[in-house]
Chain A
Amino acid sequence: MELVKFKDMRKLILIPTLFLLSICFAQAQMIAGNDTLYLNYFIAVGEFGGNNEGLIIYSNNNELRAKGVRYNASSYGMPLKVDAIIDFYETNKNSYTVIKAEWVLGEKQRDYIAKILEEIKTRPVEENVYSNASEHYAILTKKESCVFIDRTGEWNKFFEIKKVLDIEQQHRNRKH
């Protein structure tokens, strides 16, 4: 009994510690080095089309800077596979229109981005649910890449991301 309790206690301490460490790691990773972080997302316009937008985050003069972009190409109609999505963004890395010019990220925005990166990485995928207007979120750095395919298209996290980072969201002709 004693041993079981000790194991449970260990779990109770380990889980929050690991969670905090992962957030700290995400923040450190975002800030560290001369790497560039791409946080991209596909915004569906119903089942008939959509835009690929994203944030390009990099460090410059010890400041964390970002710019909001819309990719000139669209991943609409592409197979919903992680590799295909990563390939799309790798191919179109330099082909975009700036929708919010470079700015220095504030502390709140940095914390928010760290949180959102963690959410995207850990979000569970719903089984056997298929929307014909699914969306995706892709995190790309030199070291790693992570894709979350939102099969229901109902998470709509890009609304929040754009609101917090003060990026204008055009009217989306989708859900009514």
Chain B
Amino acid sequence: MQYRAMDGKLGQLNVTYRQFSKINAAYQRSSFWHKEHGVILSRDGSARFVARADRHKYDVTLRLNPRNGDFATAHTHWTKDGVDLGGGVFTVGGYHSPHDLVSIPGYSLVVGRTTSTYSISGTGAFNYINPDPFIRFFMFPWNW
């Protein structure tokens, strides 16, 4: 339903149903485990999750293989916006952090608790995906 409604497009990016499903699954897992998850999208329509060792509480490492057709990434922000991590550092919700914008190459998607954004490397800016097509189930209270 959601995939059909968005006509296979996330911002300017065409994605397959398989890729869309993996991004959804990544957010669900991220929300449960309280770790950032990532998905690497390939030109052949496939997608893969980042390795477990590369998922961390507040960051994720994306290993791309452009020769095999990897061209875009998606990662999750499971925290609420503005959570104080100490030392004047605050979390960023459903949009790209400044470090996302400078370090992730190519087409990049961020899925947060209520919103999602896309950014194209080098532009230094992100755009909201409207309407947000991702499915989010909350098994536990919002503050959990």
- A48-B56 contact in complex given A130-B104, A131-B103, A153-B61, C-beta closer than 8 Å: no
Our count of residue pairs bridging A and B at CB distance below 8 angstroms stands at: 106
Q: Once the chains are docked, how many angstroms separate the CA of A80 from the CA of B64?
A: 18
Of B35, B87, B104, which contacts A49 at CB under 8 A? B87
**Interface residue? A31 (CB, 8 A):** no
Mark B34-53 against chain A: 1 for CB-CB distance below 8 A, else 0.
01100000000000000000
Q: Once the chains are docked, how many angstroms separate the CA of A39 from the CA of B63?
A: 29
Q: Once the chains are docked, how many angstroms separate the CA of A78 from the CA of B98?
A: 8
A176 pairs with B57, CB closer than 8 A: yes
Mark A41-78 against chain B: 1 for CB-CB distance below 8 A, else 0.
00011111111000000000000000000000000111
Q: Once the chains are docked, how many angstroms separate the CA of A32 from the CA of B91?
A: 45
Chain A interface (Cβ within 8 Å of chain B)?
44-51, 76-80, 128-134, 151-154, 170-171, 173-176
B87 pairs with A45, CB closer than 8 A: yes
B61 pairs with A47, CB closer than 8 A: no
A173 pairs with B86, CB closer than 8 A: yes
Of B65, B75, B90, which contacts A128 at CB under 8 A? B65
Q: Once the chains are docked, how many angstroms separate the CA of A50 from the CA of B92?
A: 14
